[in-house]
Structure 1
């Protein structure tokens, strides 16, 4: 499943002229040939026709079913093909093509995949968590500072949700470091919980110790570069690649904690 966001899909559909069920000027045959040549799959395969038989519906199904790498590869091929054959595109069309190329490049660059944490939000029926995920998806490239701040908040929401579900909510406004520590303890993920006789115990302990520092490190990063604090007027922020690192780390920790919570519920 690709990590295309709702806004990215809207942008792509506009450029690829998919509103009438079409994809650019391709016929069924030429579209099949183009997709096969680009990514080696048959776009007319039944798994892409689950929502309908039009080319646009099959392409949407392809976006849902395939990985970021495959989707990004096909998108870039479609965009480049259209740019090379278009006659005198206006400024708006060229700008839209540039936006679409950036989307394809993000997919190919391996941006943070938030699908796993989305699944957890659905399982927990957590609307606030879903809103944070949406904000992360939309800001990681466009507003790195917001993404970094939201990554830290994601860890806080994760820990508060787990502790509340287990009847162990913390009073007041605990720090993200305290929340992470208490959540790891409640889930019995603290390093002391690993039997020294267990195979690979030292490695597991180191991994768990590192897990416990993610929340605190994100809080420090947020204080330096994220949203939530006024900065000097000439201050410069971090780039999208730094935001991807922060978001990826937060999502990995959150998924691990949620999955452990689900597997070990009392």
Structure 2
């Protein structure tokens, strides 16, 4: 049972997580930074092993709304953008609590990326998940962004330099070589085939993104519009590869 301010907390964990999300959105968009339920809910979720690693990284990092404010203020300039960042970061956790068996693959990837705890990675994954059905083209773009972000963070951890102009296939090629994931670094045919498939996925994701984009002229021909199934394939495969990169990096480190 709760007492004081705690008496107003919802019963279900999903509703309490949604309440925490609302508190943070309010604080990021001109509202109060003194809501006592922030610390209460944060402590509860950090002590819940099923939820702790699925929390947005900024919840785990910032003990108070006052501490959170400089981060979100610097992250996005407008209220709408801040609201989107926070909502997308919370969405995988809320989806998990509302339907934990719906997408077991999503949970596996979320766990791996949460352990990485690198700025931008969890947000990119949350954005890809949130757009998978409603905005297929945006989901494909987010899937590509996820892999690019993971590759850059791994290279940063390894102290390897790269150019901002490097595209995804180039970035992944450098990471694969550093993590011993390049096909030509192995002699076993099954392993080479799997790692070659990962290379093909990276190249194909870039091609798929360009194919579906409306930013490339096609001589008057209307651009191809991806469906939810295309987006689901791109997001699921990109998420699986991102988790594999993170876990390989963690093991080798």
2:193 to 206, 228, 235: 206
Whole-Å separation in 2 of the counterparts to 1:209 and 1:184: 11
Point out the more displaced range, 207-216 or 124-133.
Answer: 124-133
Deviating beyond 3 angstroms after TM superposition, the runs of 4 or more aligned structure 1 residues are 19-22, 107-113, 226-236
3-state SS in 2 of match to 1:251 = helix
Tell me the CA shift for residue 191 of structure 1. 1.9
Give the superposed CA RMSD.
Answer: 3.5
TM-score by length of 1: 0.54
3-state SS in 2 of match to 1:212 = helix
Whole-Å separation in 1 of the counterparts to 2:224 and 2:164: 33
Tell me the CA shift for residue 263 of structure 1. 0.3
Whole-Å separation in 2 of the counterparts to 1:112 and 1:242: 19
Answer yes or no: is 1:187 the counterpart of 2:164.
no
**Which structure has the bigger radius of gyration?**
1
Q: For 1:19-72, what per-residue CA distance to the aligned partner results, in whole angstroms no more than 9, with x for missing partners?
A: 8648xxxxxxxxxxxxxxxxxxxxxxxxxxxx9xxxxxxxxx9x97xxxxxxxx
2:147 to 155, 172, 180: 155
Check whether the contact 1:144–1:239 (CA below 8 A) recurs between aligned residues.
yes
1:217 to 186, 189, 204: 204
Check whether the contact 1:149–1:227 (CA below 8 A) recurs between aligned residues.
no
| Structure 2 runs not aligned, ≥5 long | 1-8, 13-40, 42-47, 52-94
3-state SS in 2 of match to 1:247 = helix
Tell me the CA shift for residue 224 of structure 1. 1.1
Answer yes or no: is 1:145 the counterpart of 2:119.
no
Q: Structure 1 residues 223 and 210, CA, compared in 2 at 3 Å: closer, same or farther?
A: same
Whole-Å separation in 1 of the counterparts to 2:207 and 2:214: 12
TM-score by length of 2: 0.56
Tell me the CA shift for residue 242 of structure 1. 0.9
Whole-Å separation in 2 of the counterparts to 1:109 and 1:146: 25
Match of 2:167?
175
Aligned residues: 168
Match of 2:245?
257
Q: For 1:147-195, what per-residue CA distance to the aligned partner results, in whole angstroms no more than 9, with x for missing partners?
A: 011111111111111111001131231011111111110001112222x
Q: Structure 1 residues 133 and 227, CA, compared in 2 at 3 Å: closer, same or farther?
A: farther
